[in-house]
Structure 1
Amino acid sequence: MGTVYECSTTKIIMNTLLTVAISSVLLALVAGQCVQETNCMLANGCVCASRDPPIEGIIPQFVTVTFHDAVSSEYMDSIYYPLLANLRNPNGDPASATFYVPHEYTDYSLVNELYNLGFEIGVHSITRDYSSEYWTNADVNTLVEEFYGQKQIISRFANIPIGDIVGARVPNFQNAGNNLYLAYQQSNIEYDNTWTARSTDRFFPFSLDQVNENVPCIIGECPDTQFPGIWAAPVIDLESNGIECNNLLACIIEDDAQKISDWLYAQFMESYMGNRAPITLAASAAWFLTYENAYAGFSSFLSTISNLNTVYLVSHKQVIDYMKNPVPVSEYVPTEVGGDATCSRRSCPLRFNDEIRYMVVCTAACPASYPWLGNPNGI
């Protein structure tokens, strides 16, 4: 009789758990939330926000180095090229990174060169306005001018196919609500790298085909409705002296190179030994110029992790591609980034706000005026 009783009890418990699970799914569906493989199908390119890996088994640990500076010869020669050019991934491919390019003071011939070196080019707006209120209050038309306009400028003056420019980051990581994602849809922006997450919330990239209310909104206003086809690649905070920071400059690490490298490695290990959520390292020229040991420490760290056989230094586009078709690390092959774009370099003196700007471009002729909001082609 004891055995019969135990079996009956087990059956009741199992049925109760099943009922609770079904009820939870139904409640989520009624609330319009994302439920994977119920109202969000991976086969259709839909992925709910989750801290769980997309598949079981060993997956790649992705690390994406990003910059959102104006691209200049000074930074190219002293930071970008020596830092990244010699790094390799486990399959032998060159490492990649993502450059979110603002307009002012950018040398578009160097953007062309970065693209040809195999780095992803995204957009960081035309104005790069530092006011949080500007982005919070911007209407859809303004945001389209900022992001689609910058896509047009990069494509035209760096001679990069506009279809290869698919990612965006808002200045100050200032999420701008539904208007931002409506603008992305109209601008053919496929993913956003503005949405930040706490270091304890290691989310994987997710699509906005359904509402993802489980992702906290830390900076600005996050979208509260569906935006089919748009993805979010969250920037997971780093932690420094008890303070959360979404970019390396804000982390205020003032130490020798070895200690900076060790600190970065400790941050990396939080994901690598945890759920392996992709890591974004938002670097900037200001960080390297402010802290004399930052470059040496960062370079040492990147060299260390590039020797790990399950770590891939990739662009955000490559991370999104993986999330659409996740495989074990043993089967992973990075998608291609960059291309082979020609450049007829010329420097164009153009008047802007009562001063002369020298805009370096890859076009046969200079634009008639300095490209700006509402006039990305400089007509």
Structure 2
Amino acid sequence: MQSYTLEVLNYFFAERKNPNGCPVKTTFFNSLTYNNYSMVTDFYVAGNEVADHTMTHVGSPNASEINGNLAALNAFSGIPLSDLSGFRAPMLNFTAETLTTLHESKFLYDSSATSATPADATGTDAFWPYTLDNGLTNNCLDVDNVCQGKLKLPGLWEIPMYAVYQGDNAADIHLMDPWLDSANVSDVVEWMKSSFLTHYNGNRQPFGIYSHPIHLAVGYPGVTDPIAMREAIKGFLDWLQTHDNVWFVTNQMMLDWIRNPVSIANIASSSALTCQVPDVPTTTKICNGIEVNEIGLLDQCPFADFPWTTCYGCPTVPPTPDDPVPPQDTSIGGFFDPIANTCLCTSDSCAFTDTTRPIGNYSSGTGSDGSSSAAPSPTSIPRQTSAADKRLVIQVGLSVALGVAAVLIAKWA
């Protein structure tokens, strides 16, 4: 995540509201490379979802790539492990072993599988999200040993990626960044509208909008600003909101609602769709993901390949999948206790302790009670569900982020 990412998301969503008046939130699948961890914190605290996309963006990733990214996001962005619940494989390249790792690491969902038929087609595979209690039902011809009950991972959800189709041509499939697939962006908007209507007028499966924000950035060196493309997509989002019972949600919000659905009459008060904001005085100096509170507290991590900032102490060497949380330089101070909503350290003599982030910190093996234990293996990340962890989520400001928006179409009267 970089500044251009935030500009793109703000352009499309900053002024947009859901039917209950809450701001629109999105899901961002995050990797280590070219990532600014303090910006990840900011968008998480704004109510968005941050999800795992491996450390170094490799397909068919091993456990260190997947769980190392969790550890780094926890350590350098301060996000509770229990709220890092989603995963998407880079290039959508995954295996049975990938899904097994997610299950063992207690992820809530994967979103790497794709549907290959229109939502209104006979025998469509554009399913509502489902659990893998009896295996996968997408990508059966592409991925070995995941379908027909060969891989059973109870409780792990699959959120299929729903394709956009060019008119009635089911063979012409568009998925990520469909606006790049035609020189005439107005044609793409018509594809997206017709594809959305197959969901809206049919079984009302969720509809996904999938983007790499770099393709929609302005002011990027050496690239022509995609003004017409941005305006066309913004017009499409406006059009979506002219339809009744359409909500822009994160993947976490969508699954929360699917697991606890309510009627249209009561949906505005659904806990899955409400919004909360931190209530912190602007004069308070704490590492809480709110810019005015963090002034003077961010550490500059000047790594040659991807310099970044964090409020939780720079690592002494760049993180890697095998060493995702190197020793952190705590000489600057300004560390935040998320339970007490206060900084614990303001001088260079302070030593970093895990009371600043009592959420199962990967680097120290701290338990939910603050006691020390052996550091867990990168192949297994403990997800704390203690009262302290839950309190952090409530105080810092609840889930969810950027990069992908899901459109939930409420169904029940």
When the two structures are superposed, what TM-score results if normalisation uses the length of structure 2?
0.65
The residue matched to 1:75 in structure 2 has which SS? helix
Q: Does 1:155 align with 2:69?
A: no
Q: For residues 191 and 282 of structure 1, do their structure 2 counterparts lie closer, same or farther at Cα, with a shift above 3 Å needed?
A: same
Match of 1:313, as an amino acid?
F
Q: Does 1:206 align with 2:130?
A: yes
What's the CA shift for 1:349? 1.6
Q: Which residue does 2:40 correspond to in 1?
A: 111
Task: Extract structure 1 runs of 4+ deviating beyond 6 A.
Answer: none
Q: Deviations over 1:31-77 (max 9, x none)?
A: xxxxxxxxxxxxxxxxxxxxxxxxxxxxxxxxxxxxxxxx1012212
In structure 1, C-alpha distance between the alignment counterparts of 2:189 and 2:298, rounded to whole Å:
38
In structure 2, C-alpha distance between the alignment counterparts of 1:377 and 1:338, rounded to whole Å:
30
In structure 2, C-alpha distance between the alignment counterparts of 1:323 and 1:279, rounded to whole Å:
14
Matches within 5 A, 1:45-84: 71-77=1-7, 79-84=8-13
Q: Deviations over 1:239-275 (max 9, x none)?
A: 137411221248603225x544333222211101111
Which of 182, 191, 199 is the aligned partner of 1:263?
191
The residue matched to 1:299 in structure 2 has which SS? helix
Q: Does 1:176 align with 2:99?
A: no
In structure 1, C-alpha distance between the alignment counterparts of 2:109 and 2:276, rounded to whole Å:
17
Q: How many residues get paired?
A: 290
More helix by share: 1
In structure 1, C-alpha distance between the alignment counterparts of 2:275 and 2:66, rounded to whole Å:
21
In structure 2, C-alpha distance between the alignment counterparts of 1:312 and 1:284, rounded to whole Å:
21
The residue matched to 2:100 in structure 1 has which SS? helix
Is the contact made by 1:204 and 1:233 (CA closer than 8 Å) also made in structure 2? yes
What's the CA shift for 1:194? 0.3
Q: For residues 339 and 92 of structure 1, do their structure 2 counterparts lie closer, same or farther at Cα, with a shift above 3 Å needed?
A: closer
Q: For residues 261 and 305 of structure 1, do their structure 2 counterparts lie closer, same or farther at Cα, with a shift above 3 Å needed?
A: same
Q: Which residue does 2:107 correspond to in 1?
A: 189
Is the contact made by 2:145 and 2:151 (CA closer than 8 Å) also made in structure 1? no
Is the contact made by 1:120 and 1:337 (CA closer than 8 Å) also made in structure 2? no
Unaligned runs of 5+ in 2: 119-123, 218-222, 279-287, 328-413
In structure 1, C-alpha distance between the alignment counterparts of 2:166 and 2:33, rounded to whole Å:
31
Q: Which residue does 1:20 correspond to in 2?
A: none
Q: For residues 86 and 217 of structure 1, do their structure 2 counterparts lie closer, same or farther at Cα, with a shift above 3 Å needed?
A: farther
What's the CA shift for 1:356? 4.8
The residue matched to 2:64 in structure 1 has which SS? helix
Q: For residues 124 and 76 of structure 1, do their structure 2 counterparts lie closer, same or farther at Cα, with a shift above 3 Å needed?
A: same
What's the CA shift for 1:369? 0.9
Is the contact made by 2:76 and 2:314 (CA closer than 8 Å) also made in structure 1? no
Q: Which residue does 1:164 correspond to in 2?
A: 83
Q: Which residue does 2:182 correspond to in 1?
A: 253
In structure 1, C-alpha distance between the alignment counterparts of 2:207 and 2:32, rounded to whole Å:
26
What's the CA shift for 1:311? 0.3
Is the contact made by 1:197 and 1:218 (CA closer than 8 Å) also made in structure 2? no
Q: Does 1:89 align with 2:18?
A: yes
Q: Deviations over 1:128-157 (max 9, x none)?
A: 02xx5xx1xx5xxxx221111111111211
Q: Which residue does 1:235 correspond to in 2?
A: 161
In structure 2, C-alpha distance between the alignment counterparts of 1:337 and 1:347, rounded to whole Å:
32
Q: Which residue does 2:201 correspond to in 1?
A: 273
In structure 1, C-alpha distance between the alignment counterparts of 2:111 and 2:127, rounded to whole Å:
13
The residue matched to 2:314 in structure 1 has which SS? coil
Q: For residues 219 and 246 of structure 1, do their structure 2 counterparts lie closer, same or farther at Cα, with a shift above 3 Å needed?
A: farther
What's the CA shift for 1:186? 2.8
Q: Which residue does 1:13 correspond to in 2?
A: none
Which one has a bigger Cα radius of gyration? 1
Q: For residues 113 and 218 of structure 1, do their structure 2 counterparts lie closer, same or farther at Cα, with a shift above 3 Å needed?
A: farther
Which of 193, 213, 217 is the aligned partner of 2:140?
217
Q: For residues 145 and 293 of structure 1, do their structure 2 counterparts lie closer, same or farther at Cα, with a shift above 3 Å needed?
A: same
Match of 1:206, as an amino acid?
Y
Is the contact made by 1:124 and 1:170 (CA closer than 8 Å) also made in structure 2? yes
Q: Deviations over 1:181-232 (max 9, x none)?
A: 22112322110010101132320000012235x5443544462321112100
Q: Which residue does 2:308 correspond to in 1?
A: 359
Q: Does 1:346 align with 2:346?
A: no
When the two structures are superposed, what TM-score results if normalisation uses the length of structure 1?
0.70
Which of 128, 143, 151 is the aligned partner of 2:57?
128
The residue matched to 2:315 in structure 1 has which SS? coil
Is the contact made by 1:119 and 1:338 (CA closer than 8 Å) also made in structure 2? no
Q: For residues 251 and 268 of structure 1, do their structure 2 counterparts lie closer, same or farther at Cα, with a shift above 3 Å needed?
A: farther
In structure 2, C-alpha distance between the alignment counterparts of 1:349 and 1:358, rounded to whole Å:
5
Please identify, of 278-287 and 201-210, the stretch whose mean Cα deviation from structure 2 is larger. Answer: 278-287
In structure 2, C-alpha distance between the alignment counterparts of 1:222 and 1:319, rounded to whole Å:
28
What's the CA shift for 1:358? 1.1
Q: Deviations over 1:306-329 (max 9, x none)?
A: 243300100011111122123333
Match of 1:246, as an amino acid?
L
The residue matched to 2:71 in structure 1 has which SS? helix
Q: Which residue does 2:324 correspond to in 1?
A: 376
Unaligned runs of 5+ in 1: 1-70
Match of 1:328, as an amino acid?
S
